[in-house]
A and B are shown apart, each in its own frame.
Chain A
């Protein structure tokens, strides 16, 4: 049996190099973890990484299928299972934190999706988009059923965009720099302070406003921590 597993293991690697030369499974998992931490710490919903999610899912199902063929109590299989559980944890925690943000900011998320130009990549995966829409309809009909329909007619509508707080892009975040960035403008806290510029050296860690560095989070030049 251990033969079956090692063969399958190398199969996975070969598969990958054939399909896309750019990412090995190791890099793929690193990408997932990056996306997980960024999503956890950024105040707004980030672009969805459905490509990474799908690849990881594929790896997991592939590995699980292999493990099906292995008899119980095999030493290697239990190690593989532990690894699968760890990856699955990161994956579901990532997807969960996205759903939480969608629930928190749904009108703004949908608004952004509406104003998206043709050809731009969507913030949401198709499943997340369906979830956001359904959440919107449900919240609306709930509000109607419980309160709004008993209101005077002129008060029966609610503007969701105004009723739900926007993500606060001015929050502070902790970050680690992966690619050096120069001349980042730091806005002053109060009127009597001056604005100034800082350089972000590679591997240095900083505490600053999300708004200032938001573009670098999506480009992957900085990692939120």
Chain B
């Protein structure tokens, strides 16, 4: 899956915005939005929030977890624990990137947040590589991946799955008489 498609899914998440225009309720196929009143908070999907922001029609209210103290706590926890800790949003990385790229003036301490989220991401990806390594060396057939986000899975997807398939083919050819052993590539 292309990272931009994961971002596409992240854009469905809901954020709060403060519009500076007024508009009646909108009846979208995917649900109703609004009504919009200047100065009043309203929930919209990220794709709309970014569009309105780019047209300077709203201020984006950063999600609650996008806060230096909370993220510092998360980063320390993530570094202490061996397992993956729960993330504040299934799309934390994509949302941080999108909101900081297009609405950094609405988010206090944007640079610190960027660094913190990157630290959390790096720690998690390092853990992911370690567990992928032990998954392969112990020749496991099942792994539980709670708390992993789609973007994280996506970064190792093609590499891990292709290697597993290759190893599976090589291994099943080593076991004579197994019907699974036929090479399927011609």
Contact = CB atoms under 8 A, between A and B. Distances in A.
- B and A form one assembly: yes
Interface of A: 2, 5-6, 8-10, 12-13, 25-26, 28-29, 33, 40-41, 59-60, 63, 75-76, 79-80, 82-84, 86-87, 89, 93, 162-163, 165-166, 168, 170-174, 186-191, 193, 198, 204-209, 225
Contact of A82 (B24, B31, B51, B185): B51
Interface string B7-33: 011000000000001011111111111
B185 to A, nearest CB: 6
Contacts of A5: 26-27
Contacts of B150: 225
B139 A206 contact: no
Given A76-B23, A87-B29, A174 B145 contact: yes
B144 interface: yes
Contacts of B23: 2, 75-76
Nearest to A225: B150
Q: Which 4 A-B pairs have the closest CB atoms?
A: A9-B27, A189-B139, A205-B145, A207-B143
Q: Determine chain A's interface SS by DSSP, over half rule.
A: helix
Interface residues of B, number: 43
A162 B139 CA distance: 30
Q: Is the interface of B mostly helix, strand, loop or mixed?
A: mixed
- Which has the most chain A C-beta neighbours within 10 Å: B47, B48, B141, B143? B141
Interface of B: 1, 5, 8-9, 21, 23-33, 47-48, 51, 135, 139-146, 148, 150, 153, 157, 160-161, 164-165, 168, 171, 175, 180, 184-186
A208 B31 CA distance: 35
A17 to B, nearest CB: 14
B139 A193 contact: yes
Contacts of A28: 29
B27 A6 contact: yes
Nearest to B135: A207
Contacts of A171: 161, 164-165
Contacts of A191: 175
Contacts of B164: 171-172
B180 A186 contact: no
Contacts of A13: 27
A33 B153 CA distance: 18
Nearest to B48: A79
B142 A12 contact: no
Contacts of B186: 162-163, 165
A83 B30 contact: yes
A25 B30 CA distance: 6
